[in-house]
Structure 1
């Protein structure tokens, strides 16, 4: 992708780039995950219907996750304008990772898995199910 992105001929990747890329993308993806699952959980507690809670939770959060993802992809892709190869790698890597994580993982795979699992999504182990510490 060096040619189409105009990032030069390539070369070695600085040792800190993959670590920082992983840390930032992991933090951003967990924000999406908590936001999505808390909405689905609230819907499930209200209706006790897994299918409708997944659909309603996804539709409510997708309107926020999608534009937030678009903004972050644009901001991170703008890092390509810098002359520093490490900044370019961080920007392009973050833009690609956020786009894949938000669209494929959070808005497709997680809801699909929750739909397939049904009420087993909300199973609690022993003590919690008997009224131990609450959510």
Structure 2
């Protein structure tokens, strides 16, 4: 995981960098972030075009391309490391929409963590409102 930013009440946002981290997040949070992570990583891999025809050099810059083109997968953690919410933001956190933020079991994280979600939005300079980012609202 990679540190992203602090949030109020001793919580912290981290970026999930590997499939293993996504699997752990899915298990701890009882949702399917690993499925989305795998799908988005495969899309990024399929979109990669090597800049050389020399076989041994074809994967140079592949991981950098994947990181740039994949959505950001983030986890909100408390001071003890417990997962509180999971977010998927557009690549490079561009304000183009397409964010998803959920709590454990796909529950609504906004009642408990709206201030932390606002801190994440402020960090990236985007608005992460419940109406746009929580997909299971009723």
TM-score by length of 2: 0.27
Larger radius of gyration: 1
Q: Comparing both structures, which one devotes a greater share of its residues to strand?
A: 2
Q: Comparing both structures, which one devotes a greater share of its residues to helix?
A: 1
TM-score by length of 1: 0.28
